[in-house]
Amino acid sequence: MTYFKKYKTLLFFSVIIFISCNHYDSITKSGRESTSSEKSHNAGKDCMSCHHDNNNEASGEGKWWYIAGTAYNKNGTIATSGKVEFWDAVDTPHTLICSLTIDREGNFYTSKIIDFKTGLYPKMISSNGDTSMTQAVVFNNASCNSCHGNNFDGRNQPHITFK
C-alpha cells in the first residue's frame, strides 16, 4: 500500500507540472495582442501599473501584458497606425521576436510571454519610415511608458515617436 501511495503522489505532481507547462506554452505562442481595429484606453499612462499586477482586476484573464506602451507621431499627437517590432539584436544578423500593431488609441501590447534573454531591441515602423532603439530593453517585461514620457521617476525619456 505504501508503494502505491508513493507513486500516486508522484503521478499527481507530474500531471500538475504537465498542465502548468502546457498552459505556459500556450500563452507563449498565443495570447491577446493589440490590433489596428481595436480601441484601448489610457494612452500615455504606464500600462503595467494595472496590466502587470496580481492585485488588479485589469490584469485578469488575457490582460496581463508583457510588452505595452503608447506611440506618438513626430508632431506630438498619438499615432493611430504603425507597428513596434522587438529584435534580438540591433545589427544583422538578427531575429524578429515580436511584432505589435498600434491600435486606434496609439497603444500596443501583448499577453504573450516574451523571453527577454539578454535584451530586445525595439524598432518603430510607420509609413514615414523606421526608427530603432539602439539600447536593449533588458527587463522581464517591457513597460515602455514607464520610461518614455514619464516625468516622475527621473528617467524622463521622450515619448516613443515615429518618424
Mean pLDDT of 122-145: 81
pLDDT digits (tens, 9 = 90+) for 57-89: 776 666 778 889 999 888 888 899 999 999 998
**The pLDDT value given to residue 84:** 93
CA dihedral 68, 70, 74, 79 (to 10 degrees): 110
Q: Are 81 and 127 in contact (CB under 8 A)?
A: yes
Q: Are 101 and 85 in contact (CB under 8 A)?
A: no
Task: Return the residue matching grid coordinates 516613443.
Answer: 160
Name the residue ranges covered by the structural domains of the chain.
Answer: 1-30, 33-161
Query: Mean pLDDT for the chain?
Result: 77
Chain-centre distance of CA 132, in angstroms? 17
**Bridge partners, residue 148, by sequence:** 157
30-34, 104-108, 145-149 — most confident range:
104-108
**The pLDDT value given to residue 106:** 92
- Whether residue 123 has pLDDT greater than 80: yes
Identity of residue 133: M
Task: Return the residue matching grid coordinates 508503494.
Answer: 3
Identity of residue 124: M
**The pLDDT value given to residue 100:** 95
Mean pLDDT of 99-122: 89
**The pLDDT value given to residue 59:** 65
**The pLDDT value given to residue 108:** 93
Mean pLDDT of 1-27: 51
CATH 1.10.1740.10 fits 33-161, yes or no: no
**The pLDDT value given to residue 17:** 47
